[in-house]
Amino acid sequence: MRKDVELMLEGVLDTEDINLNKYMDADFQTLLNAFEKYINMTSRKKLIISIFFFKKARFPESVEFEDFKMEGDRFKDILKIKLKRRIERGDLEGGFRDIEGIFFVKHIKNSHYIALTLEDSDFFEHGLLRLLENLSPDYTKPVLTSKEILKLLFSYTKDNKNNYNVIPKRTIFYDRNKKSDISHISKSLDEIVYKYKNENLYVNKIRFKLINKKKKQYIFSGSIRRDGSVEFREGNMSILMGMINKIFEPVEYKSSVFNSSDRNNFKRLTKKSIRVEYEDSVLSEVEDNERLFKTLENIPRSDFLVFHHNPYLHVSFFDYVDGSKFDIFGLDDKTICIVPYEGATESSFNNMLEGIQKEFGEGVVDEFFFHDYSLKDITA
């Protein structure tokens, strides 16, 4: 697979104006043009993009972990990285297998980054994404809800200027009751909305095509996942970049909610915290509290302590990865309040939020302001 990528770079990017053997004059737009040309000519290929936050000033050009090794070449506004990972397990032939490939990193703005690769899904899942996870807490992945994914796709149908139509091809749901994935062919976005709302499902991935109804032609074919990853299979690269900007909108808002929240040191509600608001009742019964505890229990490399179970909920959550700590309160039957402690990271918050959204239920993340009561509030 890596040879195919090198051939793409040599055959498509090496022009009279650009010599990528030295990488001196190549930039991100040149790379996008090459990807678009190559993928539209080669239907078996797809471009996979991971969207993420990275808190340090520069993405590293090289790192060495126990099972990872990467080397990067920086040229103009992009970074090209060769990555190799060795997975050692007794059930593998020879006791190990190697994952090797190339990906590119682009800084969008502030702490916003994207990583792009033409390698297969195995490299993306077990190579690229696992590498990024090892860069936590500087690395933070997005957490999208079913509603946010559908809202993004509906935004194209409401674009009066371009008159787009979104055609779903296949949707991967996760069934919270059966703890399994469901593959479903949907006829419309409305059908997807109805299905996830009425069957206790959440959307893991939607593969779709975007058509310009005026020109009567497909302009994008690909998919979007709840972790913000996007696949580009065919079409116009400018549509892809516009989609990435749309994905960053809800992700950036939730990031601002976390970063502007007050920090707690006294196991209490702070003046400005984080709330997860649900449309329906989720904490009306003791069994609901137990379901939340089970959800927290299933979040890897973490633990929690229950201070109050009933009649009101108060849980302390601890992340073993970076030492982040949070208090979780049940404000009412539709609202969970999350209060970070000093030093809690956004990476840890998103991992916890991902677990809650997947297993317990998808709520809307927003700010919560706790009213400071005074004597005047309780006297006539």
Give the three-class secondary structure for 177.
coil
Assigned domain for 178 exists = yes
pLDDT surpasses 90 at 123: yes
Helix %, strand %, coil % of the chain (to 5): 30, 35, 35
Average pLDDT over residues 227-254: 95
Q: Count structural domains, the chain.
A: 3
Percent of the chain at pLDDT above 90? Answer: 68
Question: Please, what sign has the CA dihedral across residues 267, 271, 277, 280?
Answer: positive
* pLDDT band with cut points at 50, 70 and 90 for residue 161: confident
Q: Are residues 133 and 111 in the same domain?
A: yes
Assigned domain for 377 exists = no
Q: Are residues 43 and 102 in the same domain?
A: yes
Which residue in 171, 166, 247, 249 sits closest to 203, CA to CA?
Answer: 171
pLDDT surpasses 70 at 114: yes
Q: Which helix (H) or strand (E) holds 6?
A: helix 2-8
Q: Are residues 90 and 126 in the same domain?
A: yes
Q: Which helix (H) or strand (E) holds 349?
A: helix 346-355
Q: Beta-strand (E) ranges in 178-309?
A: 180-184, 201-212, 217-225, 230-235, 272-277, 302-308
Give the three-class secondary structure for 228.
coil
Amino acid at 176: R
- 251: tokens are 């992700």
Q: Are residues 21 and 151 in the same domain?
A: no
Q: Which of 194, 226, 254 is the last residue of a domain?
A: 254
Per-position DSSP letters for 10-33, written without gaps between them: IIII--SS--TTTTSS--HHHHHH
Q: Are residues 268 and 245 in the same domain?
A: no
Assigned domain for 343 exists = yes
User: How does pLDDT run across 253-307, given as a tens digit for each residue?
Assistant: 999 999 999 887 766 677 889 999 999 999 999 999 999 999 999 999 999 999 9
Query: What CATH code is carried by the domain that includes residue 355?
Result: 3.30.160
Per-position DSSP letters for 102-158, written without gaps between them: EEEEEEEETTEEEEEE-S-HHHIIIIIHHHHHHTTTTEE-----HHHHHHHHHHHHT
- Longest CA pairwise span in the chain (Å): 83
pLDDT of the residue at 13: 43
Assigned domain for 374 exists = no
Q: Are residues 103 and 188 in the same domain?
A: no
Q: Which helix (H) or strand (E) holds 368?
A: strand 364-369
* pLDDT band with cut points at 50, 70 and 90 for residue 241: very high
Percent of the chain at pLDDT above 70? Answer: 89
- 368: tokens are 């919560």
Average pLDDT over residues 112-125: 94
48 close to 124: Cβ distance less than 8 angstroms = yes
pLDDT surpasses 90 at 320: yes
Assigned domain for 340 exists = yes
Q: Are residues 161 and 197 in the same domain?
A: yes
Q: Are residues 249 and 279 in the same domain?
A: no
Assigned domain for 375 exists = no
Q: Are residues 242 and 307 in the same domain?
A: no
Q: Are residues 293 and 233 in the same domain?
A: no
Mean pLDDT computed over every residue of the chain: 87
pLDDT of the residue at 19: 41
pLDDT of the residue at 166: 96
User: How does pLDDT run across 245-265, given as a tens digit for each residue?
Assistant: 999 999 999 999 999 998 877
Number of H helices, E strands in the chain: 9, 18
Report the alpha-carbon distance of residue 348 to residue 316 in Å, rounded.
14
Q: Which of 254, 270, 287 is the last residue of a domain?
A: 254
pLDDT surpasses 60 at 85: yes
Q: Are residues 24 and 129 in the same domain?
A: yes
Q: Are residues 345 and 247 in the same domain?
A: no
Q: Which of 111, 140, 169 is the last residue of a domain?
A: 140
* pLDDT band with cut points at 50, 70 and 90 for residue 150: very high
Domain that residue 213 falls in: 146-254
pLDDT surpasses 70 at 373: no
Assigned domain for 380 exists = no
Assigned domain for 160 exists = yes
Amino acid at 159: D
Average pLDDT over residues 45-69: 91
* pLDDT band with cut points at 50, 70 and 90 for residue 224: very high
Residue holding tokens 């060495």? 64
Our CA dihedral for 323, 365, 136, 27, rounded to 10 degrees, sits at -160
